[in-house]
Amino acid sequence: MDDKYKCNREENQLEGRYANYFQIAHNAFEFLFDFAQAYDQDTVAAERKPPHTRIVTSPVYAKTLLLTLQAAINQYEKTFGFISYNDEQRAGSDGDENGS
């Protein structure tokens, strides 16, 4: 990571939160990324739990996130091997493309 992205931990403590359930919505002006933690396989129950983190960003930065994440996954798979997932794991994400 570039030095410009490093921060002094005493000045800016970042809190790591685990997420295994995601929802994405959008409108003409912004994308909303919700991150939550589901403890059961029932996605309906997970949808009733509020997200612990919501990121709101512009379409340009949403696409930047997509490209950055794809590059990171490509590098991960080169190093550690292909990431496989099944339909149950995919149920932990809600690829809502309608912007609900």
Query: What pLDDT score does 100 carry?
Result: 42
Q: Is 7 a domain residue?
A: no
Query: What pLDDT score does 98 carry?
Result: 43
Instruction: Look up the pTM and report it.
Output: 0.69
Please return the burial class of 44, using the count of CB atoms within 10 Å of its CB with bins 0-12, 13-18 and 19+. Answer: exposed
Q: What does the pLDDT look like over 25-73, one tens digit per residue?
A: 999 999 999 999 887 666 565 566 789 999 999 999 999 999 999 999 9
Q: Is 98 a domain residue?
A: no
Query: What pLDDT score does 9 carry?
Result: 57
Q: What is the mean pLDDT of the chain?
A: 81
Q: Supply the range of the domain harboring residue 57.
A: 17-91
Q: Is 96 a domain residue?
A: no
Does residue 14 have a pLDDT over 90? no
Looking at the 3D structure of the chain, how many domains does it have? 1
User: Is residue 21 a contact partner of residue 93, using CB atoms and an 8 Å limit?
Assistant: yes
Please name the residue that has the structure tokens 């409108």.
27
